[in-house]
Amino acid sequence: MSALQAMLDKQGGSSKGPPRRRQRGGGGGRGYGQNQIQRQSERRNTTQRSNGRDNDRNNGRNNGRNNGTHGNRRNNNNNSSSNADQIYANIYKEINTRARQKQASFLTTSTNTATNPKEASERAIAAEQALLRSWVGELRPDTTTPTTTTSTTSTTSTTAPTTTEICEYYQDRTKQYPFFTSKDGYTLLQRLLDNNVILLAANMALILAKGDPQFVAAQGELIYEMKPSLKAYNKTWSQEEYGHPGLQRTYIKLKSFQRFTETWATLERTAAEGLFDIHKETSKPLRVASIGGGPGYELLAMKMFFERFAPNVSLELISLDLCPSWCGYVEALGFKFIHWDIHSGNLLGTLNMSPGDLDYVIISYVLIYCSDDPTMDMLASLLTEGQVRAIIVSERSERTAGVGMMEKRGMTVCKLMDQSMGQDERQCIYVSDSNLLLSTSIGNTAERKQFVPVFPNVPFSEHKKARQEGGHRLGWRPFHGR
């Protein structure tokens, strides 16, 4: 069986994976939004189960809705579930209408310049890749960086015309918020783009398998943009939506720069804590598991980071996710994929590993789905009995439930972001042995090592200064969702 066929098979759910949890709205070959009435009661059950577990981001809204006696709460839940189902169904109606319009306009544009539908499709894909590449600007001389150097042959300082180069890049699709990086960062982003081409090719195979590629792609863009599950059920995307190849295409295009650069920045800060120094001294292979790894950007960043940090160390990188169709992407990047539900626990057993075999766990934008006691117990026990050196976390919110929950379990949490302008828990390291980190080691006043970040201002932090200066309308991540 070809790798592609295996990927297509897995898209419908692997028979070898963990027992499939009931996923909102089912999946497989049924059309999105087409069978919603039949699926409403199933959705309602899932929603009620997940309330209070998955939705910490919007607890304020939920709490208000669920106040009252138990009986009232049940009624309220039923009412709000059917309201939510209605909202969900209505949004899908709109998505399907708009997807048909979008599809039509796309075909008109491309058939103007192509002689047949296949050529039109190829041109559209090439244009899409060119557009994605345009998120990263060309290198240009940096006129803001001082170019003063000290000459070793002279007793006085001289100014040499060094050519520092920078490049502007974006993380939001409307390109409103420029970020800057060095030549080094530019090279990394070009490698990311090359990997995205591989991911987009894998994705096109999945899209074609769904039928009309233009419609599926348009539908995915609209699911990304309109977020039906967030509006109806306070959950960014359901498992069915994560498995939609059109949504996956949009995710690859829009999230890659943010996820890659944020993981890179987290790893730089982690290295500054001295955690990785031990790997420079040994050639022992390093094993890293990414929980809820999606298409695999955090593992890609890990691989590229260690290539320069400890080039002699070989890496075994494994991504685990509840959504089985991420498999083809993760494997296309050269990593291992395991279909796994974090709520089923037993990570080491799933990996066929013994305590001490797994070095690190990395979690990127997943805690909103699993900040519950059993998951936090499982993560804490990985650090203690499992002898995992550290769990490295990168999340969306400046306040994350995971921090307090891990501390309550006796773990040390090292917050990597600057805290001087207010609490910021977006990037953290969880360890059981505080001596592994410079800033938390017992009786030690050692500070983090200095470093020059490859991707400055990642994650976006300009709003914090603005907030200190008397309030600013900039959201903490103004481009989120764009």
Angle, alpha carbons 443-389-391 (nearest 5°): 100
Look at residues 214, 317, 226, 217 and name the one whose alpha carbon lies nearest to residue 267: 317
Should residue 341 be labelled a site residue for ligand SAM when binding is judged by CB under 6 A? yes
Should residue 321 be labelled a site residue for ligand SAM when binding is judged by CB under 6 A? yes
Cα-Cα-Cα-Cα dihedral sign, residues 459, 278, 388, 10: positive
Binder of ligand SAM out of 106, 170, 233, 242 (CB under 6 A): 242
Quote the least distance from Cβ 467 to ligand SAM, whole Å: 25
Please identify, using beta-carbon distances, which residue of 28 and 471 lies nearer to ligand SAM: 28
Please say whether the beta carbons of 433 and 384 come within 8 A.
no
Please say whether the beta carbons of 446 and 436 come within 8 A.
no
Contact pattern for ligand SAM over residues 249 through 288, marking x by CB under 6 A: ------x---x-----------------------------
Site for ligand SAM in 367-386 (CB under 6 A): 369-370
DSSP state letters, 288-335:
EEEET-TTSHHHHHHHHHHHHHSTT--EEEEEEES-GGGHHHHHHTT-
Cα 65 to Cα 68, 75, 88, 188: the distances in Å are 9, 11, 18, 46
Please identify, using beta-carbon distances, which residue of 243 and 412 lies nearer to ligand SAM: 243
Quote the least distance from Cβ 289 to ligand SAM, whole Å: 11
Quote the least distance from Cβ 301 to ligand SAM, whole Å: 10
Quote the least distance from Cβ 14 to ligand SAM, whole Å: 14
Candidate ranges 60-68, 104-112, 173-181, 316-324; the one touching ligand SAM (CB under 6 A):
316-324
Candidate ranges 80-88, 91-99, 207-215, 293-301; the one touching ligand SAM (CB under 6 A):
293-301
Binder of ligand SAM out of 25, 293, 324, 402 (CB under 6 A): 293
Should residue 327 be labelled a site residue for ligand SAM when binding is judged by CB under 6 A? no
What's the rounded Cα separation, in Å, for the pair 255 and 447? 33
Number of residues interacting with ligand SAM: please give it, by CB under 6 A: 20
Comparing every residue's Cβ against ligand SAM, the nearest one is: 294
Candidate ranges 140-148, 175-183, 341-349, 382-390; the one touching ligand SAM (CB under 6 A):
341-349
Burial of 375 (0-12, 13-18, 19+ CB in 10 A): buried
Quote the least distance from Cβ 228 to ligand SAM, whole Å: 16
Binder of ligand SAM out of 364, 412, 427, 461 (CB under 6 A): 364
> Which residues, in sequence order, are CB contacts of 283 under 8 Å at separation 6+?
312, 313, 314
Q: In the chain, helix, strand, coil percent, each to 5?
A: 50, 10, 40
Q: Which residues bind ligand SAM (CB under 6 A)?
A: 242, 255, 259, 292-294, 297-298, 321-323, 326, 341-343, 364-366, 369-370
